[in-house]
Amino acid sequence: MDEAIEEFIQTKKVKRLSYNTIKAYTFYLTKFQRYIKNKDIEDINFADVIGFTENMSVLTARFFIIVLKSFLKFFGRAKLSNRIPLPKGTGKEIRPLNKTEIELLKNKLKNRFDKAVFHLMISSGLRAGEVINLKIKDIDFENNIGKVLGKGKKKYEKPDIFVFNDEAKTHLLNYLGKRIKNKEDYVFLQNKEKITYYRFWKYFKKHFGLRPHQLRHTFCTIYADKLLPTEIQVLARHKSFESTKKYINPELKETIKKYKELKI
């Protein structure tokens, strides 16, 4: 994909885009290339785009998607480009749900699928991609734990462990029913088939009025005041503590900063 990026960038230089704009185009396309592990252009899919932009601010995601849509169209992927929506909003970070909003959503859950997905995600902090790829055999219902291939990990690497509460366990068992014996089945199916990232994302927006990552964000925020930062990092399966820091209350952030400045 290196040559494709270079070819695309050359067309932008011909159009006399500014140096900073060209630099930004190159930066985000190269970063995306690393994220999708050098996939061919024809293999790029909707899940790649959503996964890459999931933790971005609205403004950053909007800029990247504008660039990517142009890039995809240039190389004949107009159909995929047209499916990718531009993020809406004011550019603020993803807002966690408060307790009232959580209860309101719980009361609106209509079917077993909705209840199982919602309670699993908000009690475990699982990412959308991890939920989609979760198989029945990956869940230990006796100990309320499960295993997933964490973000950026390859199949041969050691899986991450996640935990979930009893409420999620109840709704998962109700949803699975007799299917619990089919250990190789994916947990969440649509029309008896594995649900795609695109359909899952659209379903979430329609039925919950949320982006899937908002539940993970809520999970981390809820426990930020109840657990140590390192414990949050373990539960959220953050590779870097930098990802955990944004959930820590301001007072603790300041304390950590002062602590690091101390010399013994």
3-state class (DSSP) for residue 140: strand
CA dihedral sign of residues 208, 127, 199, 140 = negative
CA dihedral sign of residues 134, 106, 114, 176 = positive
Residue 193 Cα distances to 74, 86, 108, 156, 207, angstroms: 33, 28, 25, 25, 20
Q: Which residue type is seen at 116?
A: A
pLDDT exceeds 70 at position 245: no
Least confident range from 155-159, 216-220, 221-225, 245-249: namely 245-249
pLDDT exceeds 90 at position 229: no
| Residue 202: partners with Cβ closer than 8 Å, 6 or more residues away | none
Q: Which residue has the higher pLDDT, 134 or 217?
A: 134
pLDDT of residue 56: 82
Q: Which residue has the higher pLDDT, 96 or 178?
A: 178
Confidence category of residue 259, pLDDT binned at 50, 70, 90:
very low
Q: Give the whole-number percent of the chain exceeding pLDDT 70.
A: 81
Other Cβ atoms within 10 Å of 160 Cβ, number: 18
Taking the complete model, does pTM exceed 0.85, yes or no? no
pLDDT digits (tens, 9 = 90+) for 55-87: 787 878 888 999 999 999 999 999 999 999 887
- Which domains can be identified in the chain, with CATH numbers? 2-83 (1.10.150.130), 99-236 (1.10.443.10)
User: Among residues 133, 134, 127, which one has the least CA distance to residue 237?
Assistant: 127
